[in-house]
Structure 1
């Protein structure tokens, strides 16, 4: 535990995360209708577009097993902490011992940067309407995974570890789930810190259906992406939708990883008191 963090301070930080989790129990009406427009979109989208999306989904599925092309580099994230600590030899393991406030600031900066990239991409692909969705959807899936990995590193977790990639996919699934799904995922991840291999194996088993997770994520675009199909006007819609998507993913990743790190620091504090 960082020397400037007291147990009381960590508990206050934990309360912030728990309040956020409680707020997730609500579900906007239009989110419930999110799949309907995509059913229409599926019918009018050329087979070539479907094939490219399917290929992207296959590549992302391999991420769980070996990271693949979506495995991010930790160097850029570590460099952000190096500037803050003046420690040129900082590692991901060292980051875990820094203050939560440092982790929060770095992760927030990362999400802000990724939102700008997503906005630019959404505006660019919005020019061509639905034909450019074959480019935009794989892109937003990829940048979502990279953002979550960078958040993981920001809180001292290594996405090279397969267990962390499972946690990242669960974060991604959380964003696209309905109210029942969100509650179930929050319950699953609440035990993720514990060295309970049976629970870990159950989570891994659930992720064998990763394609359903990714299809659900794609469907979450729903009516929002339907508006991006309008040529030219799609520039504004594409930019806003992508920014909103990364914002939601960034918030989810930061809160769930933040909670894990706070709980671990509290546990370390209890252990040191014994």
Structure 2
């Protein structure tokens, strides 16, 4: 294997990611306040709207098992790494083994910016109707989150078609919406991926995957309280969805970046040993 970066460079970048991990905090007060809007939502909304929230839970389960409707085509991301006159059919994920991490970062950031713009428009649209379109907004935002995480996975050379990667993606989603205690536990869980033990242990930990949606929903509930106001909710919806997708994309980028750096450091050790 050709060495793409130096060991010193990779170790320096790894330290930056670890600093980011240590900075991930949450406020207990907002954690508690965040559940209030959804207590109201459960009491005030018709059953068919509540069913839409339940649908998000079921869809997440389908995504883990098969990818469902959210599975993206890796070719659309891979073609960003090659000249325009090169067909996407001519490249595969293995091609990224020789791509510098700085280039992966560049494409991942491009995707993050693009998806946050889409989320902004979507949030403004669903914010117009207040309380009722808020219920619709939750499963749509979940879909956008899963999509951007898959695209970032491909940027760093990982295949979302593999079940183990879809589990990692759901863990990234859970990380972005967890409190400080939850983030610490998830980082410990993800260590098994970095060590190459990504099967039985991680799968068993996701048996309660319905809790992931509940955590994801409640994490920005207090913010969504303002989106319940018709018309004015358009402004709040645009801002909140933009920041939510931005946070999800950042978590995915940093956690996948860490995996790729650790793998390259391991490969260098094997070559030099």
1:1-274 superposed matches below 5 A: 3-27=3-27, 29-83=29-83, 89-196=90-197, 200-274=199-273
Q: Does structure 2 conserve the Cα–Cα contact (< 8 Å) formed by 1:49 and 1:133?
A: no
Partners of 1:109 and 1:180 in 2: CA distance: 31
Alignment: residue pair count: 272
Partners of 2:99 and 2:191 in 1: CA distance: 22
Cα deviation, residue 212, structure 1: 1.2
Partners of 1:60 and 1:194 in 2: CA distance: 26
Q: Does structure 2 conserve the Cα–Cα contact (< 8 Å) formed by 1:123 and 1:237?
A: yes
Partners of 1:212 and 1:26 in 2: CA distance: 18
Greater mean alpha carbon deviation, residues 177-186 or residues 41-50: 41-50
Q: Does structure 2 conserve the Cα–Cα contact (< 8 Å) formed by 1:151 and 1:254?
A: yes
Q: Secondary structure at the match of 1:192?
A: helix
Q: Does structure 2 conserve the Cα–Cα contact (< 8 Å) formed by 1:63 and 1:165?
A: yes
Q: Deviations over 1:165-188 (max 9, x none)?
A: 000000011112111111000111
Q: Secondary structure at the match of 1:73?
A: coil
Q: Does structure 1 conserve the Cα–Cα contact (< 8 Å) formed by 2:64 and 2:163?
A: yes
Q: Does structure 2 conserve the Cα–Cα contact (< 8 Å) formed by 1:10 and 1:262?
A: yes
Cα deviation, residue 4, structure 1: 4.4
Q: Secondary structure at the match of 1:5?
A: coil
Cα deviation, residue 194, structure 1: 1.9
Cα deviation, residue 191, structure 1: 2.4
Q: Secondary structure at the match of 2:62?
A: helix
TM-score, normalised with respect to structure 1: 0.94
Partners of 1:267 and 1:51 in 2: CA distance: 47
Cα deviation, residue 83, structure 1: 3.1
Cα deviation, residue 46, structure 1: 1.9
Unaligned runs of 5+ residues in structure 1 are: none
Q: Secondary structure at the match of 2:99?
A: coil
Cα deviation, residue 3, structure 1: 3.5
TM-score, normalised with respect to structure 2: 0.94
Q: Secondary structure at the match of 1:83?
A: coil
